Structure 1
Amino acid sequence: MPPSPDADAKAAKQQFCNEVVRHLNQVAPVTARGMFGGYGLYLEGVMFALIADETVYFKVDEGNRGDFEAWKMPPFTYDGKGKPITLSYYEIPPPIWEDGSELQHWVERAHAAGKRAKQGKRRSRA
């Protein structure tokens, strides 16, 4: 019996995720965890990126937002109960993805944004 279309789609998503992690591991020890039909990408226990619909988005805050805006890259947006929800993750520019030294710099900045967000959550809980 052939695999179902859902199984094929899930396998394709997993393969894409594996390729992204393999590529990012050239510049940093990245891991992935499944979440909400996509994947969260982690470095040193901090989520710094996500994969949704075969697109990679990096964590953005005031420290690196200008980099993404200069490239006119869109933020990650999804439909939340009939209205668009925008998260603080922006699509990575394709030329950056292909340039190892630039990619490392962007990973570091996204990781720093992720750490700042994580620290902010800790403070707000205290």
Structure 2
Amino acid sequence: MFGGHGYYANGKMFALVREKSLYLKAGSGNVADFLLTGQLPYIHQCFGEYFPTNFYSVPLNVVEDEAQLTKWIAKAIRQLEQAEKTAKASVTLDSRQKKTATIRSAVPNPLFF
């Protein structure tokens, strides 16, 4: 994935290793950890375009400390679960909006009569 090696949990990628660097999935629950340590997102280059991803580099001191790395990986995996819940909620909201729009369009406007 992205020219590197992806690591998966429950069918979703939570880590990326590319060019001797480890990147973990970031989201609202852990992005501050990365930013506070000065880490940057992985930038994917494709056909001359650059795309920032939601995978951030892991500080070397965290990579070298097994206990800390385990905590960071657990947070990255939780971001997968959070992203899945958000996606499901978004789909539910979208379907509700479509139903509401259909119902509203079926109601005659009393101002036109």
- TM exceeding 0.5: yes
User: Which one has a bigger Cα radius of gyration?
Assistant: 2
Q: Choose which of 67, 79, 101 in structure 2 pairs with 1:101.
A: 67
* Alignment partner, residue 87 of structure 1: 53
**Partners of 1:40 and 1:121 in 2: how far apart?**
21
Aligned length: 92
* Alignment partner, residue 4 of structure 2: 38
Unaligned runs of 5+ in 2: 93-113
Unaligned runs of 5+ in 1: 1-34
Q: 1:125 to 1:80 in 2, by over 3 A?
A: farther
* Alignment partner, residue 48 of structure 1: 14
Q: Cα offset for 1:79?
A: 1.8
Q: CA RMSD in A?
A: 1.9
* Alignment partner, residue 62 of structure 1: 28
**Partners of 1:90 and 1:41 in 2: how far apart?**
14
Percent of pairs identical after alignment? 30
Q: Cα offset for 1:122?
A: 4.5
Q: Cα offset for 1:36?
A: 4.3
* Alignment partner, residue 72 of structure 1: 38
Q: Is the Cα–Cα contact under 8 Å of residues 6 and 16 in structure 2 kept in the other structure? A: yes
**Partners of 1:123 and 1:81 in 2: how far apart?**
33
Q: Is the Cα–Cα contact under 8 Å of residues 46 and 115 in structure 1 kept in the other structure? A: no
Q: Cα offset for 1:39?
A: 1.5
Q: Is the Cα–Cα contact under 8 Å of residues 41 and 53 in structure 2 kept in the other structure? A: yes
Q: 1:98 to 1:118 in 2, by over 3 A?
A: same
Q: Cα offset for 1:78?
A: 1.8
**Partners of 1:109 and 1:71 in 2: how far apart?**
16
Q: 1:81 to 1:121 in 2, by over 3 A?
A: farther
Report the secondary structure of 1:72's partner residue: coil
TM-score with structure 2 setting the length: 0.70
